[in-house]
Each structure stands twice: as C-alpha cells, then as structure tokens.
Structure 1
Amino acid sequence: MSIEFLITSFIVVIAPGTGVLYTLGAGLSRGSKASIVAAFGCTLGILPHIAAAILGLAALLHTSAVAFQTFKYAGVAYLLYMAWNTWRERGALKVEQKPDRRSLTQVGVTAILVNILNPKLSIFFLAFLPQFVSAQETQPLPRMLELSGIFMLMTFAVFVGYGLFAAAIRDHVISRPAVLAWLRRSFAAAFVALGARLAFADR
C-alpha cells in the first residue's frame, strides 16, 4: 500500500462535503449513536459508486449527458429537501433527546442516500482508483477492491471522528435556543449551497 494513496485518500475524506456536513448534523441533533450511524450510512453510500467505477459503469455518467444530468438533479432535489427539513427542524436532523431505533434507521437511510445521489462520486472513483494500480498488475480487480476497502475504512473512521466531536458539544448547543436556531439555519444554507454546487457541476 503506497503512502501516496493513503495521504491522498485522507485529504479527500477529511475535506468538508455533504457527508461530513450530514454526520456533524446528526451528532449535534441526536448524539453519538446517531453520528456513528450517519458515518456508517455515508460510507455505505459510496459503495455503489466504487462498484460502478470498478465495473466501468461510471463511464456511462461521464459520456452520457442525459444520464449524468438525471442523476445530478435527483441529488440536487434531495439536498434541497434536506435543507427544507433542516430549516423546519424535521426529518433526520431533527433535534431529539433520546433517538429510538426508528429514528436511527431514518438517520442511516438518509446518510446512504446523501452519497448515492451524488454522480460526481462515481466519476471521482473512476479517475482516482486506477492511478494506484500498476499497468503491470496481473490481477487489477483484487487490487482495486483492496484500495476501495481501505478508502471506505478511512471514510468511516474520519466521519466517526467528526460525528463524535459534534456529539461531544451537543449539550452546550441544544441548551442555547439561539445558538441552536443559528446552527439549524447554517446547516440548511450549507445544504442549499452544496445543492447549487452540484447543480452547476460538469461531468
């Protein structure tokens, strides 16, 4: 395993994005269990993109404008839906003192969808993974699976770190209604901004 792959993957994973934002929100609104569930869901959400890249299906998104635009605007619509729910304090990021199993399931499902509905991830993995597979590799598929597994483990670990940090300061946040309202609006605005960035993204 090359140090270049580990460093590059860490930079990619730690960079703030939709998954990081959602995991932070889950930790702040519902605590440590929800943040871990969110981190796991976001990690699972990249699995279809990795599979698509390995199988070559991501090339379809890269070459077909219709496929990419359809996938893209589904993701934009979902981000705007999350922004609206966050603003109204509903849905997966609704503040709860003690989340139940049904609540945690909602957090997990939403986390999976957050990453599944991002077509840029498929294209990213299509471009990213082959760079670390030697042209002389006799069995490239196992190598790509190994790299993917390490990337997913790193994603989960980093996201859990983000989520547990948010959960650790949760009591200080929810005990202050003004701060909580400001954070809720900030998260809603951030989801709108991410949706806008995705809407204007090119293949």
Structure 2
Amino acid sequence: MTNYSIVASLTGMSVEFVLTSLIVALVPGTGVVYTISSAIGGGWRSGLFATVGCTLGIVPHIMAAMLGLSALMQAGSVVFEVVRWAGVAYLVYLGVSMILAGGSLEFDTDENSSSNRNPVGLVIRRGILLNLLNPKLTLFFFAFLPQFLGSAPSLLDPRLVGLGAAFMAVTFVVFLGYASASAAVRDLLLGSATLRKWFQRSLGALLVAFAARLALTER
C-alpha cells in the first residue's frame, strides 16, 4: 500500500476531494476579492498576508464541524441568522470603505516600506473575519466533507482534520496564485490614477454585491 493510499484510508481524502476543493477555491468569492485588493494595494507581501488570513479563517468552520455543530447550525435559525447578518454587515463595511477610497485598498508605492498603511496584523485579521463571518462556509463543510468519509463522522472525528487541512492547503495555494497575479499587474494600476480609482471602486462594489447575495440567500 502506498503512502497516499494509507493517508486516503485514514482521512477519506481522494483525488476527487482534492479536485473538488480546487474548484471551490478557484471560484471567485469574498476571500478572492480581498486577496486581490490587498496584493494590488500593498504588493506581494500584503497579498501573502491576506492569503494567510483567509486560510486561517477556515479553521473555526472545521472546528465547528468536528464538534458536531451541524444540527445546531441547521436547526438553530437564530445562530445562523446572527452569523449571516454579521457577515453581511462586515462585507458592506469593507465594500463601502473601498468605494470611498478609505479602506482596504490603499496603495503604497513601496511594498517593502515599514509605513504601509495596512499593517500585517490588520490584513490578516480582516482575512480571518471575512471567512469567519461566512455561514455558508460552515454549512459547506457540513454538506461537503461527510461525502468523502466512508462512514458518518463522529464527534471530534480525526478524519475531518485531514480533510480540513487538505482543503486549507488547496485554498492557500490558490489564493497565493491570485495574489501573485495581482501583484504582477500592480505597476500598471499604480501608473494610472483613474484606472486605480475605478478598479478599487469595482472591487468594493463586488463585495457589496456579495453582501447582498448573502443577505437574500436562504440557507
């Protein structure tokens, strides 16, 4: 038995799981928009920190799945609604801030400068909050991960750790790719104030649109 077969048998991880995770991570969402805006606004390092934050924001959802909170989130409408509307409010806040040119996409001509307007901690915290306040991600884990387990998951099921870690790894690599691509076009945007302004406003409007979709979508 190969090492991959051993890991797959212990975690339920398969090629299908990895490919599905890749597709899910590639689909543009709030985390992708935030990572792109951070990389263009603050350079490669900001994009990296945004990637770290968005990836770490997955951890609470994995922990919730491990603790067996599926029934709570599915039956507890109050819990779901509180998290959902908190996420809506935070997305609107970030989006409007970007539209007004006072938020997460402040350009720094020197990405290695210690005076960067968005310090490391802030960039990471925003990324964590974006995914933490996304109830769809929790529900996604409840519906998605069990499909790749040979049996129903138990409380603190270690197989979920393996699958969750694999999903986080895939997310990190994909978001890092988005950050790299965004940093590559940074100079073009820095050279045009008009292009920079409308790009920032477009990303802000996209976050507000995501907030509206989250607000209007039923569980």
The residue aligned with 1:71 is: 83
The residue aligned with 1:185 is: 201
Q: How much has 1:106 moved relative to structure 2?
A: 1.2
4+ residue stretches of structure 1 with deviation over 6 A?
136-140
Tell me which of 157, 161, 179 is aligned to 1:145.
161
Whole-Å separation in 2 of the counterparts to 1:58 and 1:189: 32
> Percent identity between the aligned chains?
42
Query: What does 1:160-171 correspond to in 2, within 5 Å?
Result: 160-171=176-187
The residue aligned with 1:81 is: 93
Give, as a single letter, the amino acid of the residue that structure 2 aligns with 1:123: L
Q: How much has 1:90 moved relative to structure 2?
A: 2.1
The residue aligned with 1:42 is: 54
TM-score of the pair, normalised by structure 2: 0.87
Whole-Å separation in 2 of the counterparts to 1:5 and 1:50: 16
Give, as a single letter, the amino acid of the residue that structure 1 aligns with 2:32: V
Name the CA shift for 1:94/1:8 in 2 (closer, same or farther; >3 Å).
same
Q: How much has 1:120 moved relative to structure 2?
A: 0.9
Aligned residues: CA RMSD? 1.9
Report the structure number with the largest CA radius of gyration.
2
Which sections of structure 1, spanning at least 5 residues, go unmatched? none
Q: How much has 1:163 moved relative to structure 2?
A: 0.6
Give, as a single letter, the amino acid of the residue that structure 2 aligns with 1:13: A
1:30 aligns with 2:46: no
The residue aligned with 1:97 is: 109
Give, as a single letter, the amino acid of the residue that structure 2 aligns with 1:57: L
- Report the more deviating stretch, 56-65 or 170-179: 56-65
Equivalent position SS for 1:86:
helix
Equivalent position SS for 1:16:
coil
How many pairs align?
203
Q: Does the 8 Å CA contact 2:31/2:131 hold for their aligned counterparts? A: yes
Equivalent position SS for 2:150:
coil
Q: Does the 8 Å CA contact 1:92/1:103 hold for their aligned counterparts? A: no
Which sections of structure 2, spanning at least 5 residues, go unmatched? 1-7, 9-13
Give, as a single letter, the amino acid of the residue that structure 2 aligns with 1:158: V
Q: How much has 1:58 moved relative to structure 2?
A: 3.8
